[in-house]
Amino acid sequence: MNFRELPKVELHTHLEGCAPPAFIRQLAHEKRLDLSGIFTAEGGYDFRDFDHFLQVYEAACTTLQSPEDFRRLTMAVLEETASHGVVYMETFVSPDFCGGGDLVAWTDYLAAMQEAAAEAEDKFGITLKGIVTGIRHFGPEACKPAALCAAETYGDFITGYGMAGGEMVGRPADYAYSFDLAREAGMPLTCHAGEWGGALMVAETIRDLRVARIGHGIGAIDDPTLIDEILEKDIVLEVCPGSNVVLKAVDGWASHPIAKLRDAGVKVTVSTDDPPFFHTTMTAEYDMLHQTFGWGEDEFKALNATALAAAFCDDDTKARVAKRLEPAQ
Ligand code: ADE
Ligand code: ZN
């Protein structure tokens, strides 16, 4: 079966994490930065574990220094993502990597991303929306300007607020101020949890940050009471199986809990997270889900309907994207 052509909705990507290593190498060359330490001899990203991954990720981000760099990145990412059938994508973008949390700088970076998104929509038939993201291991204070940037730019392109980064830094309640600020601005919320912190971190995230979606959330599988709460609150999981396998959050594809979560009635969706880092694509994720759990076109269509319903964009955008999910007449 060829899943590449199947139209797809992807809710959980990190814009900088979608940067191909060759793209980052080119920027490093242009800016005379020596980033040789973050690449393997074959030219891929080189990291040992999750903490090292975050270090390599942040080193790669040092090459992204201007709105123009983000315009180029956004175009390159959308062309590649659309080539795997993705017709709608949400991506985490961080004011920390776009002008250091300064609102004026942030609006310039956003304008450049939006310009590229509009061009890519025309050329490649993919819609992009941004979710402003606080970086957890930068600490609760650093997440406040990110949330402020989110609230000030919430609109057509920026559709939500979330948090990524080192999950074991602090507790969800430490970050409540930022989430409250974004919620009071009317923004939908998501947060990485249960990638590393197990069911407890998912439960605290739901209780203290009151999110509609959880990034990863796979640790929830160990707590039936939490599963009941996820069902009752209609919380959607942004599951990224290939990322979990490469970062060793799970032992391998066969033991990944996505199928059990889905069987328990949880609304799961599938995304790539940071595709070039994890040598994955949406096509590869679907291929592996097919090989491992026997999922086919029916399951993938249902998955995409769930993802579109849980998307943070406006209803007009959803209606436009829904047409792209329909089979060609
Ligand atoms: N930032 C980029 N990828 C991430 C991941 N998988 N978990 C937490 N933060 C991230
Ligand atoms: Zn992520």
Show pLDDT as tens, one digit a residue, over the chain (329 residues): 799 999 999 999 999 999 999 999 999 999 999 998 999 999 999 999 999 999 999 999 999 999 999 999 999 999 999 999 999 999 999 999 999 999 999 999 999 999 999 999 999 999 999 999 999 999 999 999 999 999 999 999 999 999 999 999 999 999 999 999 999 999 999 999 999 999 999 999 999 999 999 999 999 999 999 999 999 999 999 999 999 999 999 999 999 999 999 999 999 999 999 999 999 999 999 999 999 999 999 999 999 999 999 999 999 999 999 999 997 65
What's the Cα-to-Cα distance from 82 to each of 122, 170, 288, 315, rounded to whole Å? Answer: 12, 37, 19, 21
89 belongs to a structural domain: yes
CATH number at residue 267: 3.20.20.140
In terms of domains, do 87 and 216 share one?
A: yes
| In-domain check, residue 84 | yes
How many domains does one find in the chain? Answer: 2
173 and 102 within one domain: yes
Active site positions, annotated: 195
Residues 138 and 251 in one domain: yes
Residue nearest to atom 10 of ligand 1 (CA): 165
Residues 145 and 239 in one domain: yes
25 and 130 co-located in one domain: no
**Residue from 52, 192, 250 whose mutation best tests the ligand 1 pocket (most atoms within 8 A of CB):** 192
Domain co-membership, 224 together with 173: yes
* Coil, helix or strand at residue 271: coil
Whole-prediction pTM: 0.98
Ligand 1 environment, Cβ below 6 A:
14, 17, 57, 164-165, 192, 195, 243, 273-274
In this structure, the dihedral spanned by the alpha carbons of residues 151, 93, 206 and 141, taken in order and rounded to 10 degrees, is: -70
Token look-up 């030219």 returns 43
Which ligand has an atom closest to residue 273 CA?
Answer: 2
Of ligand 1's listed atoms, the one at least distance from the Cα of 274 is: 3
Domain carrying residue 35: 20-63
Residues 52 and 122 in one domain: no
Structure tokens at 100: 């250091």
Measured from the Cα of 164, ligand 1's closest atom is 9
Q: How far apart are CA 314 and CA 306, in angstroms?
A: 15
Say what the pLDDT of residue 320 is.
97
Distance CA 268, CA 305 (A): 11
Q: Is residue 327 part of a domain?
A: no
* In a shared domain, residues 190 and 52: no
One domain for residues 157 and 297: yes
Atom of ligand 1 nearest to the CA of 165: 9
Which of 195, 202, 237 for a ligand 1 pocket mutation test, highest count of atoms within 8 Å of Cβ? 195
Q: Is residue 328 part of a domain?
A: no
CB 158 within 8 A of CB 130: yes
